[in-house]
């Protein structure tokens, strides 16, 4: 198994492990370089940005999906994106634990998706949990989504929320931590 598969299955990893350094740091360096290229491309040259975004996601940028620069993705190989996904500027994606983004999801500015955390008794050991964002969810500006969270279909996460628990389909959550305020 690869480091990415191990992490996705819940195995903790010491970040000093040789295999982790080879695989994870290699992917992070690749993504950091491509994000730099994207973020330094003329924002009016949408075709060049899309070409680079396809390269970032190993050719798997689905139809109609676009991330507005600037943004940062650390492990694009662990992001599985649907069609017509839109992210406004400032997206931060720490995806080593895997992220599934279904069709039609929209992200406001400065959203953070975090699949990784450190073991409190040994901060050199990381643990991950997958984030899953279902169809047509709308994630407001400056929302942070923590490891292991599923955002339901058609859900809305209000601006500035910190999502620590799953959000049901067709619901609105807001706050720190995010709490259900209504069903839609």
Where do the structural domains in the chain lie, given as residue ranges?
3-183
At residue 174, the pLDDT reads 98
pLDDT at residue 24 greater than cutoff 80: yes
Active site residue 33: no
pLDDT-derived band at 87, boundaries 50, 70, 90: very high
Q: What is the DSSP string of 108-132?
A: -TT-EEE-EEEETTEEEEEEE--EE
HSE-CB of 161 using CA atoms within 13 angstroms: 25
What tokens appear for 32 in the block? 């950091």
The predicted structure's pLDDT at residue 155: 98
pLDDT band at 53, cuts 50/70/90?
very high
CA distance 3 to 1: 7
Residue 1: pLDDT over 90: no
Chain centroid to CA 95: how far?
5
| Catalytic option among 25, 33, 80, 118 | 118
Tell me: the pLDDT tens digits for 102-138? 999 999 999 999 999 999 999 999 999 999 999 999 9
Q: Three-state SS for 50?
A: helix
Render pLDDT for 142-165 as a digit per residue (tens, 0 to 9): 999 999 999 999 999 999 999 999
- What's the confidence (pLDDT) of residue 60? 85
- Tell me if the pTM is above 0.75: yes
- Higher pLDDT: 41 or 63? It is 41
CA distances, 169 to each of 84, 135, 144 (Å): 19, 9, 18
Q: Given its phi and psi angles, is residue 6 left (phi above 0), alpha (psi -120 to 50 degrees) or beta?
A: alpha
CATH for 3-183 (3.30.1360.120, 3.10.250.10, 3.40.50.150, 2.160.10.10): 2.160.10.10
């Amino acid at each position: 198994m690869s480091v990415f598969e191990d992490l996705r299955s819940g195995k903790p990893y010491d970040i000093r492990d040789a295999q982790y350094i080879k695989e994870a740091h290699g992917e992070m360096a690749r993504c950091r370089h491509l994000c730099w290229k994207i973020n330094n491309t003329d924002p009016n040259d949408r075709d060049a940005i899309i070409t680079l975004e396809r390269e970032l996601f190993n050719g798997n940028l689905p139809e109609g999906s676009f991330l507005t620069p600037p943004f940062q993705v650390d492990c694009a190989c662990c992001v599985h994106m649907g069609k017509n996904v839109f992210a406004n500027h400032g997206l931060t994606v720490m995806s080593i634990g895997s992220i599934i983004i279904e069709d039609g999801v929209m992200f406001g500015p400065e959203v953070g998706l975090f699949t990784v955390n450190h073991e409190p008794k040994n901060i050199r050991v990381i643990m991950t949990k997958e984030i899953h964002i279902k169809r047509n969810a709308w994630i407001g500006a400056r929302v942070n989504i923590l490891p292991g969270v599923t955002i339901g279909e058609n859900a809305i996460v209000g601006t500035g929320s910190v999502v620590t628990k799953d959000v049901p389909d067709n619901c609105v959550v807001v706050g720190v931590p995010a709490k259900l305020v209504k069903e839609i």
